[in-house]
Amino acid sequence: MVAILVFFVLHWQVSVFSQSFFLHRYGAHRQFTMSLGWERFFHAFTLLTQGASYLNVRGYAILHRMHHAFSDTEKDPHSPEYHKNVFSMMWATKNIYSDFTHDRVKPEARFDGGVPNWPLLEKIGDSWITRLAFGTAYTLFYMAFAPHWAFYLLLPLHFLMGPIHGAIVNWCGHRYGYRNFESDDVSRNTLVFDVLTAGELFQNNHHKFGMSPNFAARWFEIDPTYQVIKVLAWLKIIDVSHAQIMRWKPEDKLPRVAPEPELAGGE
């Protein structure tokens, strides 16, 4: 049982880290820079850790840039404001993602380009042979170590881990939690110590400072991915010297609602 739980938690954490660090903060936003060699390393690491649910960085970047440009409007590719449940939202997202990834639809020019490009690895990662190979490997591990059939219920989470992470962030991050900053969308910070999605659930902070590699703004908020980013920057693997700085100042707080004035005559 311990082996299964360790495997599940490890797969969850490294997969969501790859999505947050490489696909989101680097691929979609370019919040920091790195050499081509390290870019290839983290691209391969993303394929290895996402496995059966590998997400194409260009398709991901286009959707995410659209999400920021049209946040919580009808043009947003994955806003809970226009879907009855998380399943319909992510199915619609999947279709849009597939159209862009396989060049069935051309995005607006402003949303395309400037993303890591490694056609061979992307072709391998998007192959059904590769996805089935990873799925088979997960299943064989469970066959070797699962003490009870009920543990096999975790396997679908391994198969769909990348989209599941996206569903949690895009649904919960625009539905539940608190807001540090006023904005036109309904983005929220769901957790103050976001181990579950590696800092991605600081959505309100991120929508205010979209180019900051640190998604935490206040003293009690902790962004796990940013802690890794600081180490990688210290090791000179990445360069964050030109990154936007996340700020929290009293004037950034949401305005208080003034009390209603009393009616004349005490009515």
Residue whose pair of structure tokens reads 């226009």 in the numeric block = 82
| Dist. CA 201–CA 210, nearest whole Å | 13
Pairwise CA distance, residues 87 & 194, whole Å: 23
pLDDT over 60 at 263, yes or no: no
Q: Is the pLDDT of residue 144 over 80?
A: yes
Name the DSSP letter for residue 261: P
181 burial type by CB count under 10 A (0-12 exposed, 13-18 middle, 19+ buried): middle
**Residue range 3-36, pLDDT digits in tens:** 999 999 999 999 999 999 999 999 999 999 999 9
Q: Where are the domains of the chain?
A: 2-255
Q: Compute, in degrees rounded to 10, the torsion defined by CA atoms 234, 25, 222, 256.
A: 130
Task: For residue 96, give both structure tokens.
Answer: 């849009």
Note the pLDDT of residue 110.
95
pLDDT computed for residue 150 by the predictor: 96
Helix-then-strand count for the chain, H and E: 10, 2
pLDDT (tens digit, 9 = 90+) per residue, 173-206?
A: 999 999 999 989 999 999 999 999 999 999 999 9
* Total-model pTM: 0.90
- Beta bridge partners of residue 238, listed in sequence order: 34
pLDDT tens track for 110-121: 999 999 999 999
Q: Nearest CA to 122 among 199, 61, 200?
A: 61
Phi, psi of 229 (to 5 degrees): -60, -40
Q: Cα separation of 217 and 16, whole Å?
A: 21
